[in-house]
Homo-oligomer: A and B are copies of this chain.
């Protein structure tokens, strides 16, 4: 299948085969080797010297871990939201008793750093600013470097907690250079690995907040994760097979190098956007902030998304995702992160060129000729 979802993504054959390895014990030297190598590889791609931990849970588990380990009930936090995942981050923080101030931007646009600075300065002080780097629901990448700097101009030393689930490993996210405190991603995104692990980096400022945190946590207790990682272990039985997969995938990524990974995603995203425009379709996103991991496309007038979605799977063996929440039925989203080639995108555009006329959309003549 041509799986063009923004996660899970297809995985290289050797990554999948790695999971065929027989079980080892998670408190044995064999596992310590794996987690040691994985942790170093992650630090390279995160561009950080901070601690990085793997949790046996998918990205939403990481959102929870980033909340309960660093905040206390009643803590005032600013959540910068530009879509479904920003809203989810706010809901998680509220669930555990944080006092959330929401700074919303129109879906399909990026957060304005100046507005973040103003909100922090005027509405603060805040314990933390929670922000989504790449909003998968709208295909927008926030200018995280600028937002981080803006938040710190508004309130020096404010804790920065970042959902980088669909950016890290695909889109530039310099954890140390941008002075980000808590940053998480998920294995099924740019990492070319099946879902089941999320990875979290924690700065020194993050550990200070951890010491003060009073929200309850057990499974996601990152203090325990730190104690056990020192022994080459995790506190609880980890998803060992996914570690095997991540180990192999990180081998590829570290060899490719961060700059090359970022450039590859930029090139493939450009190809996707120009392909979509060649079909006469409109992007949802303000193109200046269009994501290099997922492209959101407006469903053309008169086209029934559900019909197209099903037809793409049944007749073209291609899966692209619809919109979430208020965008359901209004947009579709093409994932182009992780293990993806120019050929995959060409195929996807070609499939759309064939399918769209069958659901009532006239593809421009120039595109049909191409």
Cross-chain contact of A218 among B19, B91, B236 (Cβ < 8 A): B91
Contact in complex: B195, A95 (CB < 8 Å): no
A1-41: which have CB < 8 Å to B? 1, 3, 5, 7-11, 16-17, 19-29
A28 / chain B contacts, CB cutoff of 8 Å = 313, 319
Listed stretches A52-60, A168-176, A298-306, A348-356; interface member: A52-60
From residue A313, how far is it (CB to closest CB) to chain B in Å? 7
Known: A8-B26, A95-B218, A218-B95. Is A238-B195 also a contact (CB below 8 A)?
Answer: yes
Q: How far is the CA of A92 from the CA of B216 in the complex (A)?
A: 9
From residue A12, how far is it (CB to closest CB) to chain B in Å? 10
Cross-chain contact of A239 among B22, B194, B220 (Cβ < 8 A): B194
Contact in complex: B21, A60 (CB < 8 Å): no
Contact in complex: A61, B216 (CB < 8 Å): no
Cross-chain contact of A16 among B20, B59, B219 (Cβ < 8 A): B20
A316 within 8 A of B: no
Cross-chain contact of A236 among B3, B59, B242 (Cβ < 8 A): B59
A24 / chain B contacts, CB cutoff of 8 Å = 1, 3, 8
Instruction: Give the secondary structure class of A's interface.
Output: loop
From residue A369, how far is it (CB to closest CB) to chain B in Å? 32
Q: How far is the CA of A9 from the CA of B26 in the complex (A)?
A: 11
Q: How far is the CA of A11 from the CA of B244 in the complex (A)?
A: 15
Contact in complex: B95, A240 (CB < 8 Å): no
The contact size tier of chain A is 35 or more
Scan A87-123; emit 1 where CB is below 8 A from any B CB, else 0: 0000110011100000000000000000000000000
Q: Residue on B with the closest CB to A20?
A: B16
A321 within 8 A of B: yes
Known: A60-B219, A194-B241, A238-B195. Is A10-B25 also a contact (CB below 8 A)?
Answer: no
Q: Residue on B with the closest CB to A17?
A: B20
Q: How far is the CA of A20 from the CA of B16 in the complex (A)?
A: 5
- Nearest 10 pairs between A and B by C-beta? A196-B239, A19-B19, A60-B236, A194-B241, A58-B237, A8-B23, A195-B237, A61-B219, A64-B219, A16-B20
Identify 8 residue pairs between A and B in the complex whose beta-carbon atoms are under 8 Å apart, listed by A's number.
A8-B237, A11-B23, A17-B20, A19-B194, A19-B241, A59-B236, A60-B237, A239-B239
